[in-house]
Structure 1
Amino acid sequence: MPLTPTRLADDAANLAERARACDVAIAALPAKPARTDEEQRAADDAQRPVRDLRDRFMRLHGREVYDTVTDRRTRGPRLAQLVAATAELVPGLLPDAARLAAEERLPQAVKEGLVIDLGIFFRRVLADPVSGEHLLDAMRAPTPRALSLLAAFERTGELDLDTVHLQRSGRIAHVTVRNLDCLNAETTELNADLETAVDLALLDPAVEAGVLRGAEMTHPRYAGKRVFSAGINLKHLHAGRISYTDFLLGRELGLLSKLRRGLRGGEDPTWWPNADVAKPWVAAVDTFAIGGGMQILLTVDHVVAADDAYFSLPAAQEGIVPGMANLRLTALFGGRLTRRVILDGKSIGARDPEATLLCDEVVAPERVGAVALAAAERLASPAVAVNRRMVNLAEEPPDAFRAYASEFALVQALRLHSADVLDKVHRFSTAERSA
């Protein structure tokens, strides 16, 4: 569908011309690994005014662009699909699929930073109440992969994905994370597997509650022990293999939103009156829940932890933003303790007084599984499902979530390419080569 011949078309033509000129200036410089500091400043100087223009363009025309791409919000593309369609519709606003694919193959330290343009776009889409609400609903729709596997899972009650095992036992779905070679560290692939498993548990009418737990590890230091999560996979981050759309932003709007708010049925009348299909979740934490692992705990209804487990959010030390944790932890802990955890890197042990705000039950390590299952059985009730929805609305109103997600979309993209993060990437890569 073409853009209407209004001021939007004129502004789009101007943006395309300015973007082409910027690309020419960047192409005249050496590739990023070989640039001097002066050449990098020249690249930044070329990009800055064009990015400002993109931001102003989205402030003026963002809703019309979004409506055009989504056929007046009758379709709900996921983030990557939305980017591809918008890049084709408005040249210069977003990098096209070929450029993004080429950039994704590069190590983080030598990427040009194309995801910053994605951050500009998503910030303005999410800031708009109409477009933002529609995008958030679209991201809570079941994934095509989950829909393709649903019949088999309903029939067998078990499914093996690459990094996740899903099993239905009675009315409880057990989601076991088993990214064994890296202590359940988060990757783009793990996020996709986990979202698929959560979708299936929510879609299966025989499931009334779910339990999330880490598998037994093969790592020499933790062999035979269960680990909940080691947080983001830093090797993948430094190698440029952590996707902005499919992981850093997509995880917040997809997987974690589904754990907290459930699936969105959209306009399908067969879903009425339950437009949201949500179920209670219990997290069983063995050993540690670091980074994104701790973020998962902020989305579930009940947390059972081993008494020797601990929790931390080291994103500030890594240089990035810990997803929605700044929003959710503040509601849970208050501002002062949240600052100590996120800004100062404070770790919380399951036996610490502060852990009572994060854990519902702290038990001996050998009792974690049984206690978590008992909690899931208690919560497996239609009345619980309805009331958890109302609690979530009170605790995290949708507009507050959308406003936070809007700023997060750009801030996280900028952090990925900030000087301090890239310096950490360089030092990590150097240490890896020396090891």
Structure 2
Amino acid sequence: MGVSTSIAADEGTDAGIAVVTVTYPPVNALPVAGWYELARALREVGQDPRVRVVVLEAPGRGFNAGVDIKEIQRDPGPQSLIGANRGCAEAFAAVYECQVPVIAAVQGFCLGGGIGLVGNADAIVAADDAVFGLPELDRGALGAATHLARLVPPHLMRPLYYTGRTVSAAELHRFGTVWEVVPRERLTEAAMALARQIAAKDGYLLRLAKEAINGIDPVDVRRSYRYEQGFTFEANLAGASDAHREAFIATGGK
């Protein structure tokens, strides 16, 4: 359980590719420490001069189910909630600010915090069973509309956010925000194939390109997401969140 990293040898087919693997069974819902662990791993591989591209994967039933709501509810005070919000912000930023391109390899469900990760990635390769969504309102939270808005047009993002409905990988492929959709058994192969194409480029120029592309983004994603999180705190202070989280836990997380 946790986050592991592998970097291919300097020579060979996969040279320059780092794979960051997140494993938090049963559904890859990350505790506070997990978000910070992921952020550290991404920043470390991005700083490694051998690395030219990162593949972010999370094998299991789904890519990411967001924060560990049970951890938040076990804490009688606000520290776990604060930790989850700050940890998510750091992990999302670590994807975006990674010095080299990041490819997200997504299967199954990609929900809540998962949207923050893939919305900040440079490319998404998805299995044909992948679905993407923000059930935040049903969990007593707000956030990651910043990142969903990078995946779908504004007037689709809003009803998806308000209803908590999901959108399929095939639909995102039609919008051009998913690079490729493949059968689940081919997901790793497809993500690595794209990674090899990127890793074949000059590493110095790739790092310059990542910085330059981030620099022309119209939205400051870190600031935008932290703005959203302020409303999550307001919802908690108003007493509007606990009941939703308890209901989610009572239904077994469904």
TM-score range, shorter chain: 0.7 to 0.9
Give the CA deviation at 1:242: 6.8
Relative to structure 1, is the Cα distance of residues 408 and 214 closer, same or farther in structure 2, using a 3 angstrom cutoff? same
TM-score, length of structure 1 as denominator length? 0.51
How many residues matched? 241
Give the one of 80, 83, 91 matched to 1:255.
Answer: 91
Distance in 1, matches of 2:164 and 2:250, equals 24
Q: Does 1:166 align with 2:5?
A: yes
**Do the aligned partners of 2:126 and 2:178 also contact (CA within 8 Å) in 1?**
yes
Q: CA deviation at 1:428?
A: 4.9
Paired letter, 1:164: V
Match of 1:214 in 2: 58
1:211: Cα distance to partner? 0.6
After superposition, give the CA deviation of every residue in 1:126-150 in whole Å (9 maximum; x if it has no partner).
xxxxxxxxxxxxxxxxxxxxxxxxx
The CA deviation at 1:260 is: 0.7
User: 3-state SS of the aligned residue for 1:185?
Assistant: coil
Aligned-partner residue type, residue 163 of structure 1: G
Aligned residues: CA RMSD:
2.5
Look up the SS of the partner of 1:304 in the other structure.
Answer: strand
Asked if 1:199 is matched to 2:43, the reply is yes
Question: What is the CA distance between 1:287 and its match in structure 2?
Answer: 1.5
Contact 2:21/2:56 (8 A) holds in 1: yes
- For the pair shown, the structure with the greater C-alpha radius of gyration is 1
Cα offsets for 1:265-297 (capped at 9, x unmatched)? xxxxxxxxxxxxx11101111122111112211
Question: Does the CA-based 8 Å contact 1:238-1:429 persist in structure 2?
Answer: no
Return the offset for 1:373.
0.8
Match of 2:108 in 1: 287
Between the aligned partners of 2:171 and 2:58, the Cα distance in structure 1 is 22
Question: For residues 362 and 245 of structure 1, do their structure 2 counterparts lie closer, same or farther at Cα, with a shift above 3 Å needed?
Answer: same
Q: Identity of paired residues, percent?
A: 24
Is 1:337 the counterpart of 2:156? The answer is: yes
Shift of 1:424: 2.1
Distance in structure 2 (CA, Å) of the matches to 1:208 and 1:288 = 28
Query: Which residue of 54, 66, 91 maps to 1:231?
Result: 66
Deviation sequence 1:345-388 (CA, Å, 0-9, x none): 12111223675343111011111101101111222333333223
* Alpha-carbon shift at residue 313 of structure 1 (Å): 0.9
Unaligned runs of 5+ in 2: 9-14
Whether 2:163 is the aligned partner of 1:359: answer no
Amino acid at match of 1:282: I
Residue 412 in structure 1 maps to residue 232 in structure 2: yes
Q: Which residue of 1 aligns with 2:217?
A: 395
- Structure with greater contact order relative to length (CA < 8 Å, sep ≥ 6): 2
- In terms of fraction of residues, the more helix-rich structure is 1
> For residue 148 of structure 1, what is the aligned residue in structure 2?
none
Deviation at 1:168, TM superposition (A): 0.9
CA distance in 2, matches of 1:397, 1:200: 25
